[in-house]
């Protein structure tokens, strides 16, 4: 099994996107792949700098797959908010903005 985490955090060059396509194509129907992303499938053309290549990657990924869409606040943000760190950070940023 291969896990690719946070696909789409940064845009990929055409060469990088092509390499990812080759990886997905070689594993297609042969081995397990788990992929995480905070981007919608609609945005993948921008991530891969090529809508056709993004469609080809998604075609292979989505065939025989189970897609899980998780909505809501992330666990990291939730725990920061619970610890009071997130609100303190927001207040600190607001204070900096006010003094500029």
Mean pLDDT score across all residues of the chain: 84
| Burial of 48 from C-beta contacts in 10 A (0-12 / 13-18 / 19+) | buried
Residue 44 has pLDDT above 70, yes or no: yes
- pLDDT number for residue 94: 47
Asked if pLDDT for residue 97 goes beyond 60, the answer is no
Residue 73 pLDDT = 79
Q: Is the pLDDT of residue 98 over 90?
A: no
Q: How far is CA 1 from the centre of its chain?
A: 18
pLDDT bucket at 23, cuts 50 / 70 / 90? very high
pTM: 0.68
pLDDT at residue 91 greater than cutoff 80: no
* φ/ψ bin of 56: left (φ > 0), alpha (ψ from -120 to 50), beta (otherwise): alpha
Q: pLDDT higher for 91 or 16? A: 16
């Amino acid at each position: 099994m291969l896990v690719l985490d946070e696909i789409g955090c940064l845009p990929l060059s055409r060469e990088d996107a092509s390499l990812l396509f080759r990886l997905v194509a070689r594993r297609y129907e042969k081995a397990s792949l788990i992929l995480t992303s905070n981007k919608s499938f609609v945005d993948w053309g921008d991530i891969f700098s090529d809508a056709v290549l993004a469609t080809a990657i998604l075609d292979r990924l989505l065939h025989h797959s189970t897609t899980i869409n998780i909505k809501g606040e992330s666990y990291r943000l939730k725990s920061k908010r619970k610890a009071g760190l997130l609100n303190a950070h927001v207040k600190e940023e607001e204070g900096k903005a006010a003094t500029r």
